[in-house]
A and B are shown apart, each in its own frame.
Chain A
Amino acid sequence: MKRLLKNPFVLLMMAALLMIAVACSDDSSSEGSSDDSGDNSGEAASEGEGLSGTLEIQYFVGGYGDSWWKEVIGDFQEKHPDLEIVEHAGPNINEEMRSRWVSGDPPDVVYIDGAGSSETQMVEDGQLMDLTDWVKDIEVDGKPLMDSFIVPPSDFDGSVYSLPLVFDAWGTWYDKAWFEENNWEVPSDFESFMNSMGQIKEDAGISPFVTTGQHPYYFLRGMLYPAFGAAGGDELLNDVITGAEGAWTSDAVLEVMKKVEKMQQEGYIDEGFAAINHTQSQMNFLLHDNAYIPVGFWLPNEMEGDKPEDLEYGFIPSPMNDASDPMPIVPDMRPLAIAEQAENPEAAKAFVEFVFTKEYAKSFSEHTGAIMNLQGVDLSSNENVPQYLIDANEMINDPEQVQIYHKPHPMSADLETPISDSLVSLMLGNITAEEFVQEAEQAAEEYRNSQ
Chain B
Amino acid sequence: MVQSKKQKYLFLAFCLVPTFIMFSIFTLYPLFSGLYYSFFEMSGSSQAKEFVGFDNYIQLFNDEIFPATIWHDYFLVITKVIGIMIMAMFIAVALTQLKIKEAPFYRIIFFFPNIMSVVVIGILWAFIYNPDLGLVNSGLEFIGLGEWTRAWLGNENWALASLVLPSIWAGIGLFMLLLMGGIANISKSYYEAARIDGANEWQQFWKVTLPLVWPQIKISILYIVITTLNGSFIIVQVMTGGGPNNATHVMGSYLYQQAFQQYNFGYGATIGVMILVISLITVLILQLLLRRDKVEY
A272 touches B151 (CB 8 A): yes
B246 at the interface (CB under 8 A from A): yes
A272 touches B43 (CB 8 A): no
Chain A 253-281 interface mask (CB, 8 Å, partner B; 1/0): 00000000000000000011111100010
Binds A, one of B17-25, B109-117, B172-180, B280-288: B17-25
* A214 with B21, Cβ < 8 A, contacts A125-B48, A280-B130, A430-B156 known: no
Within 8 Å CB of B45, what residues of A? 98, 101-102, 118, 121-122, 125, 127
What count of chain B residues pass the 8 Å CB interface test? 43
Q: Which of B125-173 contact A (CB under 8 A)?
A: 126, 129-132, 150-156, 159
The secondary structure that dominates the A interface is helix
A102 touches B245 (CB 8 A): no
Question: Which of A8, A20, A414, A421 is B25 in contact with, Cβ under 8 Å?
Answer: A20
B152 touches A275 (CB 8 A): yes
A125 touches B261 (CB 8 A): no
A428 touches B154 (CB 8 A): yes
Which residue of B131, B155, B156 has the most chain A CB atoms within 10 A of its CB atom? Answer: B131
Binds A, one of B185-193, B217-225, B236-244: B236-244
Question: Which of A16, A101, A122, A428 is B20 in contact with, Cβ under 8 Å?
Answer: A16
A116 touches B154 (CB 8 A): no
The CA of A276 and the CA of B244, in the complex, are separated in Å by: 10
A45 at the interface (CB under 8 A from B): no
B20 touches A13 (CB 8 A): yes
Q: Which of A85-129 contact B (CB under 8 A)?
A: 98, 101-104, 116, 118, 121-122, 124-127
Within 8 Å CB of B16, what residues of A? 13
A272 touches B261 (CB 8 A): no
B243 touches A274 (CB 8 A): yes
A126 touches B48 (CB 8 A): yes
A274 touches B154 (CB 8 A): yes
Q: Which of B253-285 contact A (CB under 8 A)?
A: 257, 260-264
Closest 9 CB pairs of A and B: A275-B154, A274-B154, A272-B131, A125-B46, A272-B151, A275-B153, A274-B244, A9-B9, A12-B13
Please report B residues at the A interface, Cβ cutoff 8 Å: 6, 9-10, 12-13, 16-17, 20-21, 24-25, 29, 43-48, 126, 129-132, 150-156, 159, 240-241, 243-246, 257, 260-264
Please report A residues at the B interface, Cβ cutoff 8 Å: 7-9, 12-13, 16-17, 19-20, 23-24, 31, 98, 101-104, 116, 118, 121-122, 124-127, 213-216, 271-276, 280, 284, 289, 413-414, 417, 421-422, 424-425, 428, 430
**Given A102-B45, A118-B45, A275-B155, 6 other A-B residues pairs in contact with their CB atoms under 8 A:** A20-B24, A214-B243, A274-B153, A274-B155, A275-B244, A276-B154
- 19 pairs from A and B in contact (CB 8 Å cutoff): A12-B13, A13-B20, A17-B24, A23-B25, A24-B29, A98-B45, A121-B263, A127-B45, A127-B46, A214-B240, A214-B241, A274-B155, A275-B130, A275-B159, A413-B262, A413-B263, A414-B262, A428-B156, A428-B245
